Amino acid sequence: MKKNFLIPILLGATAALSLSACNDDISENPLQQEQQTDNLKIDQPNALEKVCYYVDQYWSSNSVLTTSLQNSADTSFMNSQMTKIASLWGRSNPTLRFVNDPSNFNSTYNAISYSTGKIYYGYAIYYDAKNKGGDIVNAMILAHEYGHQLQYIFGLPSVSESTARPNELEADGFAGYYLRRPNGYNQTSFAQIAAAYEFAQSIGDYQTTSSGHHGTPPQRRSAVRLGFLLGQYDLTASAFDYNFFYYYQGVLNGAYKMGKNTQYPEIDAYMSQYMDELRKIQSGEISGEEFKELK
Ligand SMILES: [Zn+2]
């Protein structure tokens, strides 16, 4: 098992140094051909060599790329989820592939969203997630990874920090949104997605100064909740981004904006009912058990 259960985004590299570092690192990897097609669409300020190295570390040199999981039911579940997630945002499917390492199963404990329109999903994280919380956990991880595709496509997130945190928390938010939408995973109560956000929380980290920081566990939990609440509305990716970051400070430190969200007054009226709750999630005043009972 890896030291951190992170789900990193392969950030589009801007510097030639970063690019060559990625390519060098992966040169003995069967994924090399895929990597060479990299044609980065947007610049991501957080592109650091470390991120590339980190990804390379997870897809070991013995990894193989495949179109299927261990059985056809799992494969069709994931492919159908991929279609549902992409079509929710009015998009055609990205390329979804699975990664297996027969010699070291746990080395594939990862899922990666590439700026070239591909999502690579490790066998190990798939089966661990399924064992821990069932299908919904993998639906959420896939929706999180697709959230990164939306970021590549639309030049999001609109907020940048010195770490990957805004990218990652927004991706958690996109996932919470997907789980709620009627034309998404269609879960009407928050308790129904408990397994999913518990998993998201479990992979939060406290490496707050690391470039790969994904947000602390309470922040990730709050981000999923915020995305779920925004799932009350049919939003474009950019509108989701606007609203997510309008309330983002509350996810980070419980300081929700009290001013009016004049661009989306209806959403603001709805969200105002949840300000105190969101603050308490972040501060820990709402316990893990109480959190599961939220509507
Ligand atoms: Zn991510």
Q: How confident is the model at residue 16 (pLDDT cuts 50, 70, 90)?
A: very low
Phi-psi group of 134: left, alpha or beta (phi > 0 → left; psi -120 to 50 → alpha; rest → beta): left
d(CA 212, CA 162): 10
Other C-beta atoms closer than 10 Å to the C-beta of 77 total 18
Q: Over 50: is that where the pLDDT of 37 sits? A: no
pLDDT at 70 over 70: yes
- Where helices occur in the chain by DSSP H, the ranges are 16-25, 32-36, 49-58, 72-88, 123-133, 135-154, 165-180, 194-202, 217-230, 237-246, 248-253, 265-272, 275-283, 288-292
| 186 and 100 co-located in one domain | no
pLDDT digits 0-9 by tens, 146-170? 999 999 999 999 999 888 889 999 9
Q: From the CA of 188, how far away is ligand 1's center (Å)?
A: 24
58 pLDDT band (50/70/90 cuts)?
A: low
**Beta-carbon neighbour count of residue 269 at 10 Å?**
11
Whether 277 maps to a domain, the answer reads: yes
Do 22 and 126 belong to one domain?
A: yes
Residues 84 and 174 grouped into a single domain: no
Measured CA distances, 229 to 58, 104, 144, 170, 183 (Å): 33, 40, 16, 13, 15
Q: What is the pTM of this model?
A: 0.79
Specify the amino acid at residue 98.
Answer: F
User: Measured between alpha carbons, how far is 56 from 23 in angstroms, rounded to an integer?
Assistant: 9
Same domain, 56 and 170: no
Residues 205 and 102 in one domain: no
**Is a pLDDT exceeding 90 seen at residue 20?**
no
Q: How far is the CA of 260 from the centre of ligand 1 (A)?
A: 30
145 lies in some domain: no
Task: Say whether both 80 and 185 belong to one domain.
Answer: no
Whether 170 contacts 156, CB under 8 Å: yes
Domain that holds residue 166: 156-291
Confidence of residue 136 (pLDDT cuts 50, 70, 90): very high
Greater model confidence, 207 or 71? 71
Residue 227 alpha carbon to ligand 1 centre in Å: 15
Question: At a CB cut-off of 8 Å and minimum separation 6, what does 48 contact?
Answer: 11, 18, 211
Q: Which of 13-27, 80-94, 105-119, 213-227 has the lowest mean pLDDT?
A: 13-27
Separation CA 156–CA 150 (nearest Å): 7
Give yes or no for a contact between 25 and 56, defined as CB atoms under 8 angstroms apart.
yes
Q: Are residues 124 and 166 in the same domain?
A: no
Residue 150: inside a domain, yes or no? no
Rounded to the nearest whole angstrom, what is the distance from the C-alpha of residue 121 to the centroid of ligand 1?
Answer: 12
201 with 83, same domain?
no
At 81, the pLDDT band (50, 70, 90 cuts) reads very high
Q: Choose the weakest-confidence range: 21-30, 51-60, 103-112, 273-282.
A: 21-30
How many Å lie between the centroid of ligand 1 and the Cα of residue 131?
Answer: 21
Q: Can you name the residues that pair with 98 across neighbouring β-strands?
A: 66, 121
Point out the domain boundary residue: 69, 98, 133. Answer: 133
pLDDT exceeds cutoff 50 at 42: no
Q: What is the pLDDT of residue 126?
A: 95
CA–CA gap between residue 224 and residue 295 (Å, rounded): 14
- Per-residue pLDDT at 32 exceeds 90: no
**Average model confidence (pLDDT) across the chain:** 78
For the chain, what is the domain count?
2
Q: Is the pLDDT of residue 266 over 80?
A: yes
Q: How confident is the model at residue 258, as a pLDDT?
A: 63
Residue 110 and residue 166 in one domain: no
Other beta carbons less than 10 A from residue 131's beta carbon: 9
Residues with CB under 5 A from ligand 1 (ion): 7, 9, 168, 171
Shared domain for 269 and 162, answered yes or no, is yes
Domain boundary among 99, 133, 167: 133
Q: Who wins on pLDDT, 93 or 194?
A: 93
Q: Where is the domain boundary, 98, 133, 168? A: 133
The answer to the question of residue 222 being in a domain is: yes
Asked if residue 123 belongs to a domain, the reply is yes
CA of 31 to the centre of ligand 1 (A): 20
**pLDDT at 24 > cutoff 50:** no
Pair 100, 163 in one domain: no
| 116 and 170 share one domain | no
Percent above pLDDT 90 for the chain: 43
